[in-house]
Chains A and B, each alone.
Chain A
Amino acid sequence: MNWEVVIGLEIHTQLSTKSKLFSGAAVGFGAEPNTQTTLVDLGMPGALPVFNKEALRMAVMFGHAINAEIGMTSVFARKNYFYPDLPKGYQTSQMDHPIVGKGYLDVMLDDGTTSRVGITRAHLEEDAGKSLHEDFQGMTGIDLNRSSTPLLEIVSEPDIRSAKEAVAYVKMIHSIVTYLGICDGNMAEGSMRCDINLSLRPKGQKEYGTRTEIKNVNSFRFIEKAIYTEIERQADILEDGGRIIQETRLYDPEKNETRSMRSKEDANDYRYFPCPDLLPVVLTQEYVDNIKATLPELPSQKAARFQSEHALSEYDANVLSSSRAMADFFENANNVVKDPKLTANWVMGELSKLLNQEQLDIENSPVNAQAFGELLVRIKDNTINGKTAKDVFQAMWDGEGSADAIIEAKGLKQVTDTGAIEAMIQTILDANAAQVEQYRAADEDKQKKMIGFFVGQVMKASQGKANPGLVNPILAKMLKG
Chain B
Amino acid sequence: MSIDKQDVQKIAHLARLALTETDADQYQHSLSSVLALVEQMQSVNTDGVEPLSNPLEMTQRLREDIVTEENRRDAFLANAPQTEAGLFLVPKVID
Contact = CB atoms under 8 A, between A and B. Distances in A.
Interface of A: 17-19, 23-26, 32-38, 42, 50-56, 75, 80, 82-84, 97, 131-133, 136-144, 269, 271, 274, 276, 278-282
Given A18-B67, A141-B84, 14 more contacts: A18-B65, A24-B66, A33-B86, A34-B73, A51-B62, A53-B63, A84-B93, A133-B92, A136-B89, A140-B90, A143-B86, A143-B87, A279-B56, A282-B59
Interface string B44-64: 000000000110101111111
Given A19-B68, A84-B93, A24 B84 contact: no
A38 B75 CA distance: 11
Contacts of A18: 65-67
B94 interface: yes
Nearest to A130: B87
Contacts of A36: 71
A35 B66 contact: no
A137 to B, nearest CB: 7
11 contacts: A24-B68, A26-B67, A34-B88, A53-B63, A53-B65, A54-B64, A137-B82, A142-B89, A280-B53, A281-B59, A282-B59
Interface in B11-53: 14, 16, 53
Contact of B65 (A52, A75, A136): A52
- Which 3 pairs between the two chains have the least Cβ-Cβ distance? A24-B68, A141-B87, A54-B65
Name which of B72, B84, B87 has the most chain A CB atoms within 10 A of its CB.
Answer: B87
B89 A139 contact: yes
Name which of B64, B72, B76, B88 has the most chain A CB atoms within 10 A of its CB.
Answer: B88
Contacts of B90: 84, 139-140, 142
A138 B87 CA distance: 14
Chain B contact residues, majority secondary structure:
loop
Interface of B: 14, 16, 53-54, 56, 58-69, 71-73, 76-77, 82, 84-94
Contacts of B68: 19, 24
Chain A contact residues, majority secondary structure:
loop
Contacts of A136: 84-85, 87, 89
A15 to B, nearest CB: 10
B84 A279 contact: no
Contacts of B85: 33, 136, 141
Contacts of B14: 80, 82, 269, 271
A51 B94 CA distance: 33
B87 A33 contact: yes
Contacts of B59: 279-282
Nearest to A35: B71
Nearest to B62: A53
Given A25-B67, A131-B93, A141-B87, A278 B60 contact: yes
B52 to A, nearest CB: 8
B19 to A, nearest CB: 16
A271 B59 CA distance: 24
A133 B76 CA distance: 21
A52 B93 contact: no
B79 to A, nearest CB: 9
Nearest to B94: A133
Given A33-B87, A35-B71, A133 B93 contact: yes
Nearest to B84: A136
Contacts of B65: 17-19, 52-55
